[in-house]
Structures are given as C-alpha cells and as structure tokens.
Amino acid sequence: MGQISRNANDVVEVSWQPPPGDIIKINFDTSFNQGTGKSVSRILARNREGLIMAACTFPWENILDSMMAEAMACLQVVTMAEEMRFQDIIVEGDALTIIRKLNSDENDKSSISSLIKEIKERGHRFRKLRFEYVPRGANKVAMEWHWKEDNTKTPNTGLRKLRMWWLD
C-alpha cells in the first residue's frame, strides 16, 4: 500500500495487514503540539476486507505531553469500539510505551496511570481485545490513505480544519 524509505539504498514495502476472522482492526495515530497543549487523535477501524467500519478525529486541549495524548487516543479507541458494539478488536498504534503498559500485568505508576487503568477496565467488556505495536511508518501507511488532503469525501474536511488551529 505504500513504501517507507529507511535510507537511499534501503526501501521496505509496508502494507496494512487485515485482521483474521470477524475481528475489527483499529489503528490510531496522534499529533501533539507541546507549545499549545493541543493534540488531535485519528482513529480508523476496518474489517478483514479492509472496509472502513468507523473513521473519526478527536481534538484535545490541555494535554501535558505526548504520552498523555497517546493514552487519550487509545482510550477513545476503546470507547468508540464499545459504543459501536464491536466485540473482537485489535488496537494498533505506534505508541510503544502505551502498548507496553496496556499489555503489562504490572500496576502502572506513571503520570498516565489513571488513563491506563480506565482503558484496561473498559477492555474487559470485549470478547477479544489485543493491543499491538506497529512501527510508525506502518501505522502512517495504514492511516494516510484514508486521510489524504485531496479526498473531500472522507472525514478529512474536519481534519483540515483541525490542522488549521493546530498551526496557530
């Protein structure tokens, strides 16, 4: 679906991999502006055929750091999946620290511990839930094809407006 270039001599093909069976795969990505304390989360849910089941953006304010922005995005993924009554989901993102915390049995004591705890608690409401890390390039490929700036038939119209306040 796209190419990620590591350097001039090394090009690696990266593509979105469909989930097995009736599982819904939900990718999330976050942008954060430390100067304004604002972030934007993008969420894209697809089935095994690659059909979009949900796509949305969420603006956030008063975000302390990028880790909080990523945790808020992941919480929004689980909340959205619950509201849409998805039962079996894979949550994919490039937020390695968040994914590790969610897959750990240890009690989190970081500044985002309350968010991690809430995500885990909501996770028990699903029949199957898996958190998977994907490298930034792979997650970018999974997200970008849907959020292209020249495609006005996608939720990008709202995203373009969000990008405008993002630059302020």
Report how many helices (DSSP H) and strands (DSSP E) the chain contains, helices first.
5, 7
Q: For strands 38-46 and 128-133, give the pairing.
A: unpaired
**For the domain that residue 157 is a member of, what is the CATH number?**
3.30.420.10
Is 60 exceeded by the pLDDT of residue 166?
no
Over pLDDT 70: what percentage of the chain?
Answer: 72
Confidence of residue 140 (pLDDT cuts 50, 70, 90): low
Give 102-131 pLDDT, tens digit per residue. Answer: 999 999 999 999 999 999 999 999 999 999
Report the pLDDT value the prediction gives residue 82, as an integer from 0 to 100.
96
List alpha helices for 24-135, DSSP H: 66-83, 96-103, 113-123
Q: What is the mean pLDDT of residues 14-18?
A: 76
User: How many domains are contained in the chain?
Assistant: 1
Higher pLDDT, 9 or 18: 18
Confidence of residue 62 (pLDDT cuts 50, 70, 90): very high
Tally the residues of the chain: 168
Contact 67, 112 (CB under 8 A): yes
Paired tokens of 134: 């994907």
Query: What is the Cα–Cα distance from 86 to 108, expressed in whole angstroms?
Result: 27
What is the domain extent for residue 76?
A: 2-167
**Minimum mean pLDDT among 22-36, 52-66, 92-106, 149-163: which range?**
149-163
Contact 28, 41 (CB under 8 A): yes
Confidence of residue 65 (pLDDT cuts 50, 70, 90): very high
Is 50 exceeded by the pLDDT of residue 18?
yes
Report the pLDDT value the prediction gives residue 67, as an integer from 0 to 100.
96
**Minimum mean pLDDT among 4-8, 87-91, 146-150: which range?**
4-8
Confidence of residue 152 (pLDDT cuts 50, 70, 90): very low
Query: What DSSP character marks residue 148?
Result: -
Report the pLDDT value the prediction gives residue 138, as an integer from 0 to 100.
62
Report the pLDDT value the prediction gives residue 136, as an integer from 0 to 100.
73
